[in-house]
Chains A and B, each alone.
Chain A
Amino acid sequence: MELSTKTVDPVLIVSVNEDRIDAAVAIEFKDAMRAETLDEPKIVVLDLSTVNFIDSSGLGAIVASMKHMGQDRTLALAGLTPTVDKVFRLTRMDTVFSLFATLEGALEALCNPPA
């Protein structure tokens, strides 16, 4: 699974270049996320804007990625498409992650935190 990254200090943006995160790619995704977040950026925004579908395996892989980063770092999710957003809300995972409708919105909030 191809992930691409970009740094907008102090945020690492990880973009998923696939239209689904499902059981077929969940382990690959988890491994790729682990590799991309190895050098310990404090804040990672996962850009899901190309992802049209996620299943429970994909959801679990995102939770696992956050847990692997550790509690003192932040994994925020941005650009959730309607179906993906629905899966997060139905499973209550919207209470576990910071969700942002757009990548721009996420960067705005995370790069300029209120004093």
Chain B
Amino acid sequence: MSSQPVSFCVTFSVTSGVFAARKALAKLLDGLAPLQLDSEDADSIKMVLAEVLNNIVEHGYPNPQEPGPIGVQCTLVGDGLDIALTDTGEPMPNGEPPIGNAPNTNVQFADLPEGGFGWFLIKMFAQNITYKRTGSINTLAFHLPIRVKISA
């Protein structure tokens, strides 16, 4: 039995809302179970996806009365996962992802950061991040390196 390159893709959609990120994360990890991710890689996926999904829920669909779909597509490529998220919510301000500077902890007590960690965490792990707005659809795509162990 020779091992052939396996086409492995997890695709699903959730509806935005308070528990959307949790639900999508659980679905994705469930779908990726055959890859037998080690805890290091599972952590990176959880951290990045939680932040990306939170951003869509909070900023893409800011009105809880008007929820919308969040599509997740995750494809196994040579050295990791190509992940694309789509939504029909608000476009990203300035048409591009935030810079994601490191949180500044060298500040007065009262000025310690209570936010701004999200994009910093995303950019720590995600590579080749692209954002595009096509009509009313936002697509955020990136590559997440993992140690692939799948066997055919």
Interface of chain A residues 91 through 115 with chain B (CB within 8 A): 91-93, 95-96
A20 contacts the other chain (CB 8 A): yes
Which residues of the other chain, A, contact B117 by a CB distance below 8 angstroms?
Answer: 56, 59-60, 91
Per the bound structure, the CA–CA distance linking A95 and B114 in Å amounts to 14
Which of A22, A60, A83 is within 8 Å of B22, CB to CB?
A22
Q: Mark B89-123, 1 if CB is under 8 A from A, else 0.
A: 00000000000001101000110111111101100
The main secondary structure of chain A at its interface with chain B is: helix
Contact A24 B103 (CB under 8 A): no
A65 smallest CB distance to B (angstroms): 10
Instruction: Please give the number of chain B residues whose Cβ is less than 8 angstroms from any Cβ of chain A in the complex.
Output: 28
The answer on a CB contact under 8 Å between A83 and B46 is yes
A92 touching B51, Cβ below 8 Å: no
B115 adjacent to A67 (CB under 8 Å): no
Partner of B58, one of A23, A60, A90: A23
- Determine whether the beta carbon of A22 is less than 8 Å from that of B47: no
B121 touches A87 (CB 8 A): yes
Total A-B pairs, Cβ < 8 A: 74
| Closest Cβ–Cβ distance, residue A46 to chain B (whole Å) | 16
A87 CA to B121 CA, complexed, in Å = 8
Q: Which residue of A lies closest to B107 (CB)?
A: A96
Contacts of A71 in B (CB 8 A): 109-110
Tell me whether B39 is interfacial, beta carbon within 8 Å: yes
* Shortest Cβ-Cβ A-B pairs, 9 listed: A56-B117, A60-B114, A55-B50, A56-B118, A71-B109, A23-B54, A91-B117, A92-B105, A64-B114
Using CB atoms and an 8 Å cutoff, list the residues of chain B in contact with chain A.
Answer: 18-19, 21-22, 39, 43, 46-47, 50-51, 54, 57-58, 102-103, 105, 109-110, 112-118, 120-121, 124
Interface residues of A (CB under 8 A from B): 20, 22-24, 53, 55-57, 59-61, 63-64, 66-67, 71, 82-83, 86-87, 90-93, 95-96
What are 20 contact pairs spanning A and B, CB under 8 A? A22-B21, A24-B22, A53-B50, A56-B50, A56-B117, A57-B115, A60-B117, A63-B113, A63-B114, A66-B112, A67-B109, A71-B109, A71-B110, A82-B43, A83-B39, A86-B43, A87-B47, A90-B121, A91-B103, A91-B117
